Amino acid sequence: MQRRPGTITSTSPPESDRRRSSGSGGETRDSGGAEIDLISLTKTYESGDVRALDDVSARLAPGEFVTFLGPSGAGKTSVLRLLAGLEFPDRGQVLLNGRDVTSVPPQRREMGVVFQDYALFPHMTVYQNCAFPLQVRRVPAATIRQTVDAVLNTVQLGDHGDRYPAQLSGGQKQRVAIARTLVYEPQVLLMDEPLGALDKNLREHMQLELRQLQQRLGVTCVYVTHDQDEAMALSDRIAVMRDGRIEQMGSPRDLYRNPRSQFVAGFFGKMNFIPGEVTGSDSDCVHVDTELGVVRASRESARLSQGSLTAGAPVTVAVRPEKVSVTASPPRGTAVNSLALTVEYIRYAGAFTYVDGVGRTRETGVVACKGPENSDITTGEPAAFHFPVENTFVFEREPADQRGAGKPE
Amino acid sequence: MQRRPGTITSTSPPESDRRRSSGSGGETRDSGGAEIDLISLTKTYESGDVRALDDVSARLAPGEFVTFLGPSGAGKTSVLRLLAGLEFPDRGQVLLNGRDVTSVPPQRREMGVVFQDYALFPHMTVYQNCAFPLQVRRVPAATIRQTVDAVLNTVQLGDHGDRYPAQLSGGQKQRVAIARTLVYEPQVLLMDEPLGALDKNLREHMQLELRQLQQRLGVTCVYVTHDQDEAMALSDRIAVMRDGRIEQMGSPRDLYRNPRSQFVAGFFGKMNFIPGEVTGSDSDCVHVDTELGVVRASRESARLSQGSLTAGAPVTVAVRPEKVSVTASPPRGTAVNSLALTVEYIRYAGAFTYVDGVGRTRETGVVACKGPENSDITTGEPAAFHFPVENTFVFEREPADQRGAGKPE
Amino acid sequence: GEPTSAGSSGNDRANEQPDSPADIESLSGSVNLNTSGGVVDEIWEESWWARFMDETGVEIRTSSPADLSRLRAQVESGNVEWDVTEISTGGQYLEAVEQDLLTELDQERFREYFEQLGGDGDDLMPEAVATHGIGHAPFATILMFDEREFPEGEPQPSSVTDLWNVEEFPGPRCIHEQALYNLEIALAADGVDADDMYPLDVERAIGKLDELVPHIATFWSAGAESIQLVADGECVMSTVWNGRPFGAQNEDDIDYLGVAWEAGIMASSYWVIPRGAPNPESAYALLATYQLPEVGASTANQVGYGNTNTATDELIDEDARPFVATYGPNLEVLTVQDEQWWYEHGESAEERFSEWRLAQ
Amino acid sequence: MTPPARRFRLPRGLGFLLPALILVGAITVVPVVRIVMISFGDGLANYQELFQSGVFWSTLRITVEISVASTVVCLLLGYPFVYLITSFRENVARRFLLIVVTTFWISLIVRVYAWMVILGRNGLVNDALVGLGLVDEPLDLLFNRVSVIIGMVHYLLPYMILALYGGMVGIDRGLTVAAQTLGASPLQAFRRVYLPQSLPAVFAGSMLVFILATGFFVVPSLLGGPGEMTLSVYMERQTFFLNWGSATSSAVLLSAVSIVLFVSMDRLVGLDKLFGAVRR
Amino acid sequence: MTPPARRFRLPRGLGFLLPALILVGAITVVPVVRIVMISFGDGLANYQELFQSGVFWSTLRITVEISVASTVVCLLLGYPFVYLITSFRENVARRFLLIVVTTFWISLIVRVYAWMVILGRNGLVNDALVGLGLVDEPLDLLFNRVSVIIGMVHYLLPYMILALYGGMVGIDRGLTVAAQTLGASPLQAFRRVYLPQSLPAVFAGSMLVFILATGFFVVPSLLGGPGEMTLSVYMERQTFFLNWGSATSSAVLLSAVSIVLFVSMDRLVGLDKLFGAVRR
Ligand SMILES: Nc1ncnc2c1ncn2[C@@H]1O[C@H](COP(=O)(O)OP(=O)(O)OP(=O)(O)O)[C@@H](O)[C@H]1O
Ligand SMILES: Nc1ncnc2c1ncn2[C@@H]1O[C@H](COP(=O)(O)OP(=O)(O)OP(=O)(O)O)[C@@H](O)[C@H]1O
Ligand SMILES: [Mg+2]
Ligand SMILES: [Mg+2]
């Protein structure tokens, strides 16, 4: 990811392809990372009534960068705690390079943890905090100074070494927490929202640093973030969690393109959801009757169990705005997935434009996303919203109050 | 902002126009909010050598929603602390509705604070934490129960009332902090990254709730966030801070369209920066010589002091990617701001496409952003990058290592 | 050393000698008695106090402990609440006299009350009535040994000086932790006669004590401790206050404690009337009651400490006699401590003794 | 996500501390067991005797009264003091601490004597009161319950202060300030936020001082009125005749009473729940 | 952004605490001033006398030695104990605490005798040793420095435990665990992370126990060997003769020595800096 100077800063929208293409730019990985197996991890906190983790299994390849994504309380931190050896699972195992480490104490796992709440040592300066992991490893003092100075510069805190954590701003504390973990280059990096308190520029700088370090050392990374862009930009794979379970795990592109449930679909990028009922299916398509008309989805993109394929089953149709095209001319009557809607609203949003179309009842609608080019679509006028059957998903309908699940704005 | 059901979720790119348009959707404000004046606030922390705040002045209208934005350590939290009465300024005053409250203790300012690190009471349950502000106001117990239950439901923690803070996940804690402050509907809301630990869906839900509450009660809001989208979506005005000073303050649209410095320009959205030197100026335009060729900017969009207008002054030219259009045909030799570059890279990013063009040395380049439509531009081929003089900014060049300033990736 | 106290004497009531003759019938109200506390109180309650109340109708209110600094504070602050208090041995009495804290006793008055109570003034020992107080239960520091080690029939220690007789009576010893008594005993062991004892030759005594050092297990400080040490076998013999082995025999069925009176040292604490005492007449009567033979005998019979009335002897039980200091035969072989010497030289002697102890 | 401590199991790697635990157990429990055994040496006889002894019960009552009062007064004086000094910079706070602690080494007797002089009929206080014309007659300030408690407090206060200091110095004042931004008055913020967090220190400190107070006899016997005989004086008397049976049984009873006292205080104040939440 | 406490000024709204501060000041300082005045009653005479007295210096030395040793042993036993029990659930921890504290109320004298019985020539330990054939002759376990310290520790340990408990119960174990994830062994994590945070409690507890120890004479005089005479015994002798001048001057000197001791310990261990950082 060596960058050209004099160029773009700031955020980018979902780039599901970026990972793949930028992989070539990185330096070659050595095989320093560890393979991690999570086997049926289950955890209920002593005082809690809920299962924080419920049968979580996953295999992480050496040097892989895996992000755990999910709504607040989904169990992301709990996964990290079990991995780091801070908690003991009720059931299940953690394997490190095939070895069962479930009951190995934290300090013998060689995992670096960036804690969600930083866990800085209040009685040590920034410098001392960062030197700590090296000192306990008996690194020579001169090396320590060099290394710590370097890592503090990386996190842009080179001149804050003598401060105590209480004398730092929130983002500065977070950077100390990162620096303290990076400084000793652990085999496995566990990071719990390590960049949450940083502004975009710094965050992107840090993302780059993290990714470079991770690739240089080939460490296996387990990452937690709430920032979907960040997850997409950094991760080889993403695990979407919900209520203590992994809902789906795959490459960012995979999750974006092939979400397995309404929840996952709603968790990445934008998505139109249209409630409906199955009316039937043929060899290619599933037919769904919605308020806006009949919608068809290819069999591959219909994520329905056999039971839900029966007519009358409540389902949700989903399609991404950028897969929806809008034309001012009314749709031909027979065209598949071409809905006649009224343009309610056109939002010009810097680089592109959103077109909101609503049905007759104005209760349901579809949003299309198009480039900034002008067109002849006008607010209040009818327009045709088209989308391909292969990009149309059908999910079993989830209860509306499902926490964190693509909750309507 | 009443929403249609069955619609879009998730993030949106910079929408500088959104505030204006959505304003009409809100309920009418009553005049419950307070006017706040910050007058020349200066603060140096006891143990710190740096000025956390340096002559910060601002006036906040009643019911206004003002966001403080800026890199980590810029002084955002410090502003809030002074406002809330947690710190005493070295110099300067805080006026509340014209009354000097600089030395009024926190509990008599009727300001609600959501602390960056939550500051939850560890010995109280979630419910007790939220009931606390009402109890000290001697609200009847029945009312307290109702109100707290309602606010806990708003933050989706209705079933967590009996937990202690230590038994919550990071995002849950943050929501308790918000709930505890919202529950007593203060005159002024000070929120320090209140949504930083929440996933996008929940965050957008909370944004909506906050905005609705703020408009319903007409409270004045001072908000800190690192999320530019959030800042743009919520704020009436944004104050961009750097190194303890307010760099620029204005509406989101204003900041996006008329950044007053390279720093502000780099802090919002994407921006192409091209270093160059002033060669001269005429009545309409400033001429800048860059590696990519001569660029002109209108006098209005050139943010140069008289001194910097002299030939040879180092400046930075800036233009937003969405203002750049690309054509495959080579530029006409005389066209203004039409640069002949080589297309190095085309990134398809879901709803739109970025085109990276580089100059001969491949050291400098320009990124254009266009809709998803296909065109005849090909990687490796030359193309013309055009942008209007009135959308071209010229700033005095800032040192490269300026912390947080649109740092090149 | 004189304390530089701000509190000066402000109450002269004690110096107003009453004009009326002593009349036990005329007494009324109450009297405040301060004792050093302890089990003896319970015995006194039955014999001494009951008798006094019978005779006078005056109520007794008791308190404890006896403490010189509190006495002084009372007198100096003008808050005197005690009519009679005990005052400890070893120079404190003389110190109190010196500091003018006590009422000077009217000997005649005391005798009058004593005789009105049925006592015979001639039975009183010379020690019984001093200028500012009456001798309280005299006690002796004597030798106690473990009869399990030195059983009857075999040679038994017969004098306190047998502490030094390590050939005949081997085994660890314990002695008191202060110079008081130890110096006298050491000199006696070094051959000094009772008559030549004072002024004490401190260095000579220390020299003699040096010889004992290898055999000293520990120093005891509290009365009960000396018994415990022998009972536990920590030492085979120890100096002891005469009432203790008697008590151990009575109360705890420890019947293997032999005692030797020869060369023991007798001393006495005092009952005094503080200057400014609120009820001086009742105080006289109370003190007079104390010296009655029946009163002394009842304590002697139970705890081994009598009073200073020679008539008490006859009332002492047979099995108590070996343990009572004022019992004639025992009294004969005891050396009476010279309080004046201790008052004058006590501090430096203690200092010297401490120095010696610390050198061990 | 600072990991909270595990609760149930012996913390990993702390096995090596077991010997200390056992040693502490041995050193504390073994003599106690012996003492309890001795107290039951004659079956229940010792206890029967005690229960019938009026002196035991009145001294026990006096002891508990004096100890409770002294503890409460120490707390009332010590707590605000510590609250205040822990809000100063640390080195200032510790300077205050040292000053207070200095007074420790003034031997108890000397101090008691100083009080006698101060409180006596011709003492400093009375001189001042009379001199100012506030009273006509010198007041009887000495030799009553009040002078006992003054003396006890003087002796015990530094211990209370030290015990509180160790616990209160670490409490986050930030939360108190946060409470104020939520509308609590400083007093409310203190009572609802700071106080609960300081309760473990209060608990430990009160226990410590109470215990010291019960075992204490010099002050009551020197400064107290005629009737102020405490249990420790009573117990010392019992050892006059090696009367271990009754000395030990009264000790056991005092322990029992004190523990009942503490446990019920604990329940009453609801410390139980508070501790749970504060401990993390 | 939990607001750290202000440092310099009297915290807002705490003005009403000033009376407490003043009262504490009065109660502690006034008698001390008086005592210092008395000690200088004859000019420097009292001090000259003291400085020349060999006994004063040796008893002072012995007192300091015994007190330091007892404090250290109490710390070595009490700290791990508290460390362990504060890692249990809170109610379990407090149950342990109560057990330990029970032993408090066993009158000192009774306890000392219990030790005599245990350590004596015919005591439990010697019986066991001889019975097991480990030694031929009973060992001299009693009446030496070791038995003094055992007795002192037995008496003082519960105080140390209480003082430590109040401070250590609030320490965040999470940071220790965090240190372990950074590669520290449990011991390193303890030493570098937990220990520094517990130092205020250690400081307060040690001071408390040390002070108790210096004022303490029953144990040394009952369990000590012939040469174990402590300063408090010496001072008691002085007050016996109402020799206030020398009693007060030795008290003042002991205070001075102890304070020097604490201040230099403070400096040595660098507590100064640690306190600063821990306090927030
Ligand atoms: N207690 C303190 N002592 C010394 N310096 C402090 C203290 N608190 C903050 N500072 C410094 O003051 C400056 C401003 O801090 P502030 O917390 O206001 O930043 P911020 O804008 O909120 O940053 P962030 O986004 O990281 O939270 C920073 O450089 C910080 O290091
Ligand atoms: N110590 C605890 N005791 C009881 N319940 C707990 C404890 N810690 C976490 N939980 C619960 O376990 C669940 C999972 O928590 P976890 O911290 O893993 O969530 P998370 O995914 O990290 O959430 P966030 O994004 O908000 O940090 C939550 O419901 C939380 O309330
Ligand atoms: Mg979490
Ligand atoms: Mg901040």
pLDDT tens-digit map of B48-102: 677 899 999 999 999 999 999 999 999 999 999 999 998 889 999 999 999 999 9
**One domain, residues A106 and A128:** yes
Angle at Cα B66 formed by Cα B300 and Cα B204, nearest 5°? 110
**Residues of chain C below pLDDT 70:** 1-20, 38-39, 90
C360 or B401: which leads in pLDDT = C360
Q: Residue D104: what pLDDT? A: 65
A219 phi, psi to nearest 5 deg: -75, 155
B188-192 vs B220-224, strand pairing mode? parallel
**How far is CA E197 from each of CA A176, A248, D156, E160, E171, rounded to the nearest angstrom?**
20, 43, 26, 17, 7
Residue A246 beta carbon below 6 angstroms from any ligand 2 atom: no
A65-69 vs A220-224, strand pairing mode? parallel
Q: Residue B334: what pLDDT? A: 65
Mean pLDDT of D187-194: 88
Domain boundary among B196, B230, B257: B257
- Listed by start position, the domains of chain D span 44-111+139-277
Mean pLDDT of B340-359: 75
**One domain, residues A291 and A343:** yes
Q: Residue D106: what pLDDT? A: 65
A393-396 vs A302-303, strand pairing mode? parallel
Q: Residue A48: what pLDDT? A: 62
Q: Residue A302: what pLDDT? A: 81
**One domain, residues A249 and A294:** no
Model confidence at E104, in pLDDT bands (50, 70, 90)?
Answer: low
Interface test with D, best of A43, A44, A45, A46 (most D CBs within 10 A): A46
Contact D241 C247 (CB under 8 A): yes
Q: Residue A56: what pLDDT? A: 94
CB-CB neighbours of E75 under 10 Å: 18
First-to-last C-alpha distance (Å) of chain E: 12
Q: Residue D160: what pLDDT? A: 92
DSSP state of A95: E
Highest mean pLDDT: which range of B280-294, E172-186, E212-226? E172-186
Q: Residue B7: what pLDDT? A: 35
**One domain, residues B198 and B320:** no
Residue A200 beta carbon below 6 angstroms from any ligand 1 atom: no
Compute the distance between CA of residue B80 and CA of residue B91 in angstroms, rounded to an integer: 16
Is E269 an 8 Å CB contact of chain A? no
Compute the distance between CA of residue B3 and CA of residue C268 in angstroms, rounded to an integer: 104
- 72-131 of B, contacting D, C-beta below 8 A: 84-86, 105-107, 109-113, 115, 119, 121-124
Full DSSP string of C89-132: TTTHHHHHHHTT-BPPP-HHHHHHHHHHTT--GGGB-GGGB-SS
Domain boundary among B236, B257, B278: B257
Kindly report the CATH number assigned to the domain that includes residue B351: 2.40.50.100
Percent of chain D at pLDDT > 70 equals 78
- Quote the ipTM score: 0.80
Residue B406 lies in a domain: no
**How far is CA A249 from each of CA A82, A259, B173, rounded to the nearest angstrom?**
19, 10, 27
By three-state DSSP, how is residue A60 classified? strand
- How far does E12 lie from chain B, in Å, by closest CA? 8
Q: Which region holds residue B40: left if phi is over 0, alpha if psi is between -120 and 50, else beta? A: left
Compute the distance between CA of residue C21 and CA of residue C17 in angstroms, rounded to an integer: 11
Q: Where does E86-135 have alpha helices with state H?
A: 90-102, 108-119, 124-131
Compute the distance between CA of residue C282 and CA of residue C25 in angstroms, rounded to an integer: 11
Name the helix (H) or strand (E) containing C160. none
Give the rounded distance of the alpha carbon of A45 from its chain centre.
25
Residue A149 lies in a domain: yes
What is the domain extent for residue B340? 270-396
Model confidence at B248, in pLDDT bands (50, 70, 90)?
Answer: very high
Q: Residue D243: what pLDDT? A: 63
Residue B45 lies in a domain: yes
pLDDT digits (tens, 9 = 90+) for B310-320: 778 888 899 88
Residue B72 beta carbon below 6 angstroms from any ligand 1 atom: yes
Average pLDDT, chain D: 76
Contact D106 E255 (CB under 8 A): yes
**Residues of chain A below pLDDT 50:** 1-30, 401-409
Residue C170 β-bridge partners: none
Kindly report the CATH number assigned to the domain that includes residue B176: 3.40.50.300
Full DSSP string of D185-215: -HHHHIIIIIHHHHHHHHHHHHHHHHHHHHT
Identify the residue whose C-alpha is closest to ligand 1 atom 8. Answer: A167
A99-100 vs A272-281, strand pairing mode? unpaired
**One domain, residues B283 and B309:** yes
CA quadruple D65, D66, D72, D73: dihedral positive or negative?
positive
Mean pLDDT of E251-256: 81
Smallest CA-to-CA distance from A126 within A185, A183, A206, A180 is with: A180
Residues with Cβ < 8 Å from E232, sequence gap 6 or more? D107, E63, E214, E215, E216, E217
| Chain E residues closer than 8 Å to D113 by CB | 239, 244
**Nearest-by-CA chain E residue for B79:** E1
Q: How many structural domains are present in chain A?
A: 2
A352-358 vs A338-349, strand pairing mode? antiparallel
Model confidence at D69, in pLDDT bands (50, 70, 90)?
Answer: very high
**One domain, residues A74 and A161:** yes
Q: Which region holds residue A109: left if phi is over 0, alpha if psi is between -120 and 50, else beta? A: alpha
Residue B292 lies in a domain: yes
Is D280 an 8 Å CB contact of chain A? no
Percent of chain B at pLDDT > 90 equals 35
Q: Residue A322: what pLDDT? A: 80
Q: Residue E280: what pLDDT? A: 37
B26 or C347: which leads in pLDDT = C347
Is E89 an 8 Å CB contact of chain B? no
D241 or C268: which leads in pLDDT = C268
Model confidence at B9, in pLDDT bands (50, 70, 90)?
Answer: very low
CB D217 within 8 A of CB D176: no
Lowest mean pLDDT among B301-305, B349-353, D178-182, E1-5: E1-5
CATH numeric code, D44-111+139-277: 1.10.3720.10
Residue C266 β-bridge partners: C140, C336
Give the rounded distance of the alpha carbon of B190 from its chain centre.
15
Residue B17 confidence (pLDDT) above 70:
no
Model confidence at B14, in pLDDT bands (50, 70, 90)?
Answer: very low
Residue B159 beta carbon below 6 angstroms from any ligand 2 atom: no
Q: Where does A124-166 have alpha helices with state H?
A: 126-135, 141-154
Average pLDDT, chain B: 81
**Which residue do the tokens 């009471």 mark?**
B121
DSSP state of C309: B
pLDDT digits (tens, 9 = 90+) for A227-250: 888 888 889 999 999 999 999 999
**Nearest-by-CA chain E residue for A108:** E183
CB A179 within 8 A of CB A163: no
| Chain E residues closer than 8 Å to C90 by CB | 240
Residue E27 confidence (pLDDT) above 90:
no
**One domain, residues A55 and A186:** yes
Residue A403 lies in a domain: no
User: How many CB pairs below 8 A link B and D?
Assistant: 72
- Tokens representing B181 are 């402050």
**How far is CA C89 from each of CA C92, C132, C306, C337, C351, rounded to the nearest angstrom?**
6, 14, 16, 10, 18
Q: Residue D29: what pLDDT? A: 74
CB E164 within 8 A of CB D205: no
Q: Amino acid letter at E192?
A: R
Domain boundary among A203, A230, A257: A257
Residue A8 lies in a domain: no
**One domain, residues A207 and A99:** yes
B302-303 vs B314-319, strand pairing mode? unpaired
DSSP state of D9: S
Contact D121 C79 (CB under 8 A): yes
Smallest CA-to-CA distance from D269 within D182, D184, D207 is with: D207
Q: Residue E107: what pLDDT? A: 63
Q: Residue C184: what pLDDT? A: 92
E110 or B237: which leads in pLDDT = B237
Compute the distance between CA of residue C245 and CA of residue D210 in angstroms, rounded to an integer: 37
Identify the residue whose C-alpha is closest to ligand 1 atom 23. Answer: B73
pLDDT digits (tens, 9 = 90+) for E119-137: 887 788 888 888 888 888 8
**One domain, residues A208 and A307:** no
Q: Residue D155: what pLDDT? A: 84
**One domain, residues A249 and A309:** no
- Tokens representing B341 are 């570059």
**One domain, residues B362 and B332:** yes
Residue D277 confidence (pLDDT) above 60:
no
Compute the distance between CA of residue B140 and CA of residue B178 in angstroms, rounded to an integer: 22
**One domain, residues A229 and A305:** no
Burial class (CB in 10 A: 0-12, 13-18, 19+), C227: buried
CB-CB neighbours of A344 under 10 Å: 15
Of all atoms in ligand 2, which is nearest to the CA of residue B171? 26
Compute the distance between CA of residue B213 and CA of residue B184 in angstroms, rounded to an integer: 12
Residue E55 confidence (pLDDT) above 70:
yes
- How far does D3 lie from chain A, in Å, by closest CA? 7
